[in-house]
Structure formats: C-alpha cells, structure tokens
Chain A
Amino acid sequence: MSDAELLTLSAILAAMVRAATPLVFAALGELVTERAGVLNLGIEGMMLIGAVAAFAVAHADGGILLSIAAGAAAGMAIAALFAVLALGLRANQVACGLALSLFGVGLSAFLGKGLIGTPIEALPALPLPGLSRIPVIGKALFDHDILVYLSVLAAPAIHLFLFRSRAGLILRAVGENHDAAHAIGYAVLRVRLLAVLFGGAMAGLGGAYLSLTYTPMWVENMAAGRGWIALALVVFATWRPARALLGAYLFGGVTILQLHAQNWGVGVPSQILAMLPYVATIVVLVAISRDESKIKLNAPACLGKVFHSGR
C-alpha cells in the first residue's frame, strides 16, 4: 500500500469510530434495559433530549464534564417518565416507547429554539500517549475525545457487570423470569427502574456525543434515526455487549465505506450503495443466528412482558 492509501485507510477507520460512537452508547444502554426485561423504543427521543441538554450547558460555558453529565441526566429524566408509565402503571411498553420518541422530538425542538445557529467548541481530542503514534491505527483509534474512549470502555464494563457481578446476575434473572426472581425476594420493579434509567443515561450520552463532538451544534431532529439503528443493534448483538460494540463499528464502517465507494467508479447508483449498511447488518445477523440454540439462550425471556406481584 502506498502512503496515500494508508492515510485514507487511517481516515476511514477514524471516521468509522466516530460514526459508531453514538450508536455504541445508545445500544449498550438499551441492551442493559432489555436484559432486565424492558423494551424501550424511545431511544430516539432520549438521544435528542440528551443532545439538546448537553448542548445547552456547553453553550452556557458549563464546561466539558458538566455538559456530558447534563446529557446523561436529561436522558435519564425522560427515561424516568417512561418508567412511571411502563413500570409504575403497567402501560404497554412498545407503545409507551414510541410515544416517548414522539414526545422527545417535540420537547427537544421546543427547548432548543434559542440554541439554533449558535456554534460551540467541540470536545478536545485526547491523544493517548504512545499509542496514538502507532502508524495508521494510532491516529484512527487512539486520537479521540473522552466520550469515544468512554463508549469503548463501557462495553467490557457492562459485560463484567452483567456476567461477573451479583447485581448483574439479579438484573438478568429479572429479565429471564420475573416471577421466579420475585419469589426469591428480588425487587423486580426497582431493578427494572434502574435498568431503564441507565438506558436513558446512555442514550443521553449518545445524544451528547452528537451535539458536543460529532457535529457541535443543535438542530432539530439531529439524531436522524440513530435511535432506531441502536435498537436494531441490540438484537444484532444477541444481547451481548461486545457484539453491540462490534455491530456499531460494522454499521459505522460500512456507512463510511459506501461514501468512499461512490468515487471508486463501481458504476452502482448511490441509492443502492446506501443500502449496504442495512443489508450487511442483516446478512451478518443471519450468519450468526443460524445456530438456533445460541440465540434462544441470549434473548431475555421476559422481554416486554408486564410484571405484577399482586396475587
């Protein structure tokens, strides 16, 4: 490979990481929520609320950490609304999630009216000492802002939590069989509430990444459907954190590649190339789903089901 080609490769990898980061956050959050047995389709709404809140704080010179925290807190707050309805009042989760998305789009647009057209400084890049000097991959993987590193670290952290900690075991038990978990004495609704709030915070972080770093501005509806992709990635990941990370990178990577491919002279219409990320995700899912037993073991058995303890 020539130097120019290596540079292009490095740029593609770096762009892939950035494109994937909001998806990583949102998908990992939803993954934990679903592992506890709750299906929250309001990711898009939570991302937008997170984006506008983080931007508002950054715009008011609130500082990096406070802006990020605001995004997470706002996502969590609106997830709490979902929890009141879906857990407290046992309303239908799917419909509540969709309503939350609609509500979040409107509310974020309303809150952000005064923020349109005002730029902010993007989060600074923090090159990792040593690693960022490695040819090609150094610049691509180790020269990003704090949120990118956080998203990558979140995957193993969530994995350890889910599969190596007692709390994670309880969370999974609640998602697998809430009646049994209740019988043993676990507070099913409290566990689910915490999982929903965590999912909201992560979606909020995904939104914060969009408005603070990826495209440091606020415009209405800037999540542009990423919440839905995140939802699909949880399924793609068969509810495993590492696979969610890989899935987001695959999706982000193919998205970037198809943009490059338009100028390789392949003679395929751009609309057909634009289908590639979606088709690739389906194809890979089919490939990993062929072993039926593995899939069945991963999907939380109580996903989307209402729990009531009253006998």
Chain B
Amino acid sequence: MKILRRTGLALALALTAGLWGAGGARADEPLKVGFVYVGPIGDHGYSYQHNQGRLAVEKHFGDKVKTTYVENVPEGADAERVIRQLATSGHQLIFTTSFGFMNPTVKVAKQFPKVKFEHATGYRRAPNLAIYTARFYEGRYAAGVAAARMSKTHRLGYIASFPIPEVVRGVNAFLLGARSVDPKAEVRVVWVNSWFDPGKEREAAEALMAQGVDVLAQHTDSAAPVQAAEEKGVWAIGQSSDMSRFGPKSHLTAIVNDWSGYYISRVQAAMDGTWTSTDTWKGFDAGMVHLAPFNPAMPAAVKADVLKVVAAITEKKLHPFTGPIKDQSGKERVAAGQTLSDAELLKMNWFVEGVVGSVPH
C-alpha cells in the first residue's frame, strides 16, 4: 500500500530526525520550504501578504520547490510543535512569520542544526536561524508626508494594534513625515488591542474622525478603516496591501509589505548552498516595502514631493529619524544632525512630540 509505505518511511525519518536534515535530500528532489502563519491566510492582511510571498516562490521555482504552510498557529505552546513537525517532515527551510514564534523557533533550531530557519520581526539569531523584517517605518514616513499635504485640519489619525516597538516606530515615523511638511501636524492614536477585528477597527476610525481627523492611517489588518473613511469622505492610508478597492475615492496610498523578493532570494541561497544566518532589515531599497499607486485625486505636486522623499530614503540621503527629535514630555531624544541607531529603533517605546496618545510602560 502506497500510504503505508510512505508513512513507514516518514516514521523511520522521524526516528532519526536529529541526524536528518538538509544533507539528507538528494539534488533532484524539490526543496521543501515551510511557512508558519499567525493568522488565517484569509485575513487579507499580514498573513495574507506572507502567503503571497510563498506563492511567488512557487511560481518562480516551479517544481524545484515544494512549499507548505500552516495557518492560524497560536503564539503559545503550539507553535513549537508545529515548527518541529515541519522540521521532521523534511522541510529544509522554514519561515516563521510572527514575533511570538521567536522563542519556539530558537528551541527547534537548536534541535535541528541542519535545517535552516528564518524568523520574522524578532531579534534572536543562531547559526541556522536568520532573522528578517522590513523597514515599514520608511513607508510610514513617506505616507506621513502625503497625509500632511492632503490634510486641512492638521489632525491625522492612527489606528494602532498593540504597543510594541514596531507599531510605536510606525506612529513616530508617520508623525515625523507629516511634520517635515507641516509643523502644525499632530497624530492622534487609538489602540484597538487587536491585530484583526474589522468592527473594532471601524469603531476606532469613527472615533478618530469624530475628533476632527481628516486622514486615517492604520497598523491593523483589515480594510475597515479605509471603508469608514470612504463613507465619511476623509482620506485613508492602507496597510499591508493595496486597499484602494475598498475606498477608491479615499485611498491615498498604502504601505505594502512585499516579501516575494526576499523569500525568492533566500530559497535560491538555500538551493545554491550559499545560505547563511543573516540579519535582514531592509526597506524601500530592497523592495520589501513600497507605496501602493497614488490616488488620482492627489495633486501632481504632492505626488512628486512624496516620490522625492521615497527616492531620498531609498538612496539613504534621508533617514526618517534624524534629529532634533523630542519626545512627548519635550525631552530631546535625538540631537540635531544625529540619527537613531538600529538598536534604538528596534526597541523604541516612546512617542515623539506631536503624537496624542500614550504608550503604556
């Protein structure tokens, strides 16, 4: 029986799992690549975009790869089991795509030295564990420029998920971008304490609009805020993917997460035997972040200015976190002419002056 034979083989492989890994694969066999997602791929947000990256890998390599994904994996005790199961079932390269998978990935990576692991948005590395994320804040800075240019009330809204450094950094970059063209701009933050709850995101959008905000940005997954903006006739900035279909009149642009290029290059490296444990934090320059097409209603001058900012960041002529930068209490955090280091950016937990809202400590 075909099934039994296959399982018998799987059992034998599993029993010697510690010894078995990339070295065991023959050259003519497809490279097995595994992906672990925190949400359902039907969230049309964060996990959806990672899955688009996986599909791009399949398209690029054809039958030279075989990809597998596990969706909606809870960030608790279960993650480690799922990651280990991928490792024991012959996957040679495994991407774990959420911060909460960091420690489980580290543990499994230790047990499977020949399997290559990649963890997104964390900070712990190992010889067979690379880390990667994107400089989304570059996109948010540029979006802040667009937002402030389009705003009449000088009040920008920001729907935020959880007070983690990634989100705090995004809020700050958005404000700094806005202030670079409008010193009177302020950013009002509402925390929804969820990555994904369309209803709640909409409620937060309405709360912000009621406070006089006329451009909405978001760091949550659903297109609900864009829809709310469309209904009320204010501007919106999409998140993760181009959300213009949900707000053709209101959608200024979106900060798009694009993992395709990175995933393809890492799979290629694993195939070529050139894979090493790297720390990748790239933005516009590597195409990991880009802005969705601008709304046709945006004046040409605004578009040109935003594109100039994008070009400057891409060419490293402009760093969004260049001093002088004061925090909410008025204390100077970055001196004039200085820029924040990556380490400081990574753990950012304070709001820049001009942000209305608070980060819990």
Residues of A within 8 A of B (CB): 4, 7-8, 11-12, 15, 19, 22, 109, 112-113, 116-119, 122, 210, 214-217, 219-222, 224, 226, 255-256, 259-260, 262-263, 267, 269-271, 274
Cα distance A7–B212 in the bound complex, in angstroms: 10
Cα distance A19–B203 in the bound complex, in angstroms: 7
Interface pair A219/B202, CB less than 8 Å apart = no
Interface pair A263/B199, CB less than 8 Å apart = no
Interface pair B196/A224, CB less than 8 Å apart = yes
Q: Is B63 an interface residue (CB 8 A)?
A: no
Interface pair B227/A217, CB less than 8 Å apart = yes
Interface pair B199/A214, CB less than 8 Å apart = yes
When C-beta atoms are compared, the residue in chain B nearest to A271 turns out to be: B193
Interface pair B224/A215, CB less than 8 Å apart = yes
- The 8 Å CB contact of A117, one of B44, B202, B224, is B44
Interface pair B210/A12, CB less than 8 Å apart = yes
Interface pair B163/A270, CB less than 8 Å apart = yes
16 CB-based A-B contacts, threshold 8 Å: A11-B206, A11-B209, A15-B203, A15-B207, A210-B199, A215-B224, A219-B222, A220-B42, A222-B199, A224-B200, A255-B200, A256-B207, A263-B188, A263-B189, A270-B163, A270-B193
What residues on A are CB-neighbors of B203 within 8 Å? 15, 19, 255-256, 259
Scan B242-265; emit 1 where CB is below 8 A from any A CB, else 0.
Answer: 000110000000000000000000
Q: How far is the CB of A224 from chain B (nearest CB, A)?
A: 4
Interface pair A15/B360, CB less than 8 Å apart = no
Interface pair A271/B42, CB less than 8 Å apart = no
Given the interface pairs A11-B210, A260-B207, A271-B193, the reply to whether A219 lies near B42 with Cβ below 8 Å is yes
Interface pair B44/A271, CB less than 8 Å apart = no
Interface pair A263/B223, CB less than 8 Å apart = no
- Contacts A119-B223, A224-B200, A270-B360 supplied; 8 other A-B pairs, CB < 8 Å: A8-B211, A119-B227, A217-B222, A255-B203, A263-B189, A270-B193, A274-B191, A274-B193
Interface pair A7/B210, CB less than 8 Å apart = yes
Cα distance A215–B40 in the bound complex, in angstroms: 18
Given the interface pairs A12-B210, A270-B163, the reply to whether A217 lies near B193 with Cβ below 8 Å is no
Interface pair B246/A214, CB less than 8 Å apart = no
Q: How many A-B residue pairs have CB under 8 A?
A: 110
Interface pair B207/A259, CB less than 8 Å apart = yes
Q: How far is the CB of B93 from chain A (nearest CB, A)?
A: 27
Given the interface pairs A119-B246, A215-B224, A224-B196, the reply to whether A112 lies near B357 with Cβ below 8 Å is no
Given the interface pairs A8-B211, A11-B209, A260-B207, the reply to whether A216 lies near B227 with Cβ below 8 Å is yes
Interface pair B190/A217, CB less than 8 Å apart = no
Cα distance A240–B44 in the bound complex, in angstroms: 39
Q: Is B67 an interface residue (CB 8 A)?
A: no
Q: Is B327 an interface residue (CB 8 A)?
A: no
Residues of B within 8 A of A (CB): 40, 42-44, 48, 163, 188-194, 196-204, 206-207, 209-212, 222-224, 227, 231, 245-246, 356-358, 360
- The 8 Å CB contact of A118, one of B188, B211, B245, is B245
What residues on B are CB-neighbors of A22 within 8 Å? 199
Interface pair A215/B211, CB less than 8 Å apart = no
Q: How far is the CB of A155 from chain B (nearest CB, A)?
A: 21
When C-beta atoms are compared, the residue in chain B nearest to A9 turns out to be: B210
- The 8 Å CB contact of B43, one of A12, A118, A220, A263, is A220
Cα distance A16–B204 in the bound complex, in angstroms: 12
Q: How far is the CB of B213 from chain A (nearest CB, A)?
A: 10
- The 8 Å CB contact of B199, one of A19, A109, A122, A262, is A19
Interface pair B357/A262, CB less than 8 Å apart = yes
What residues on B are CB-neighbors of A263 within 8 Å? 188-190, 211, 356-357
What residues on B are CB-neighbors of A256 within 8 Å? 203, 206-207
Interface pair A219/B206, CB less than 8 Å apart = no
What residues on A are CB-neighbors of B42 within 8 Å? 109, 112-113, 116, 219-220
Q: How far is the CB of A302 from chain B (nearest CB, A)?
A: 34
Cα distance A138–B22 in the bound complex, in angstroms: 68
Interface pair B222/A215, CB less than 8 Å apart = yes
Given the interface pairs A217-B223, A259-B190, A259-B207, the reply to whether A119 lies near B202 with Cβ below 8 Å is no
Cα distance A4–B43 in the bound complex, in angstroms: 36
Given the interface pairs A215-B199, A215-B224, the reply to whether A116 lies near B245 with Cβ below 8 Å is no
Cα distance A214–B203 in the bound complex, in angstroms: 10
Cα distance A260–B212 in the bound complex, in angstroms: 12
Given the interface pairs A224-B196, A269-B360, A270-B163, the reply to whether A214 lies near B211 with Cβ below 8 Å is no
What residues on B are CB-neighbors of A109 within 8 Å? 40, 42
Cα distance A283–B6 in the bound complex, in angstroms: 59
Interface pair B198/A219, CB less than 8 Å apart = yes
What residues on B are CB-neighbors of A116 within 8 Å? 42, 44, 48
Q: How far is the CB of B237 from chain A (nearest CB, A)?
A: 17
Cα distance A89–B188 in the bound complex, in angstroms: 55
Q: How far is the CB of B228 from chain A (nearest CB, A)?
A: 8
Cα distance A23–B198 in the bound complex, in angstroms: 15
Q: Max chain A CB contacts within 10 Å: which of B42, B189, B196?
A: B42
What residues on B are CB-neighbors of A262 within 8 Å? 189-191, 357-358
- The 8 Å CB contact of B358, one of A7, A215, A216, A269, is A269
Q: How far is the CB of B265 from chain A (nearest CB, A)?
A: 27
Interface pair A215/B190, CB less than 8 Å apart = no
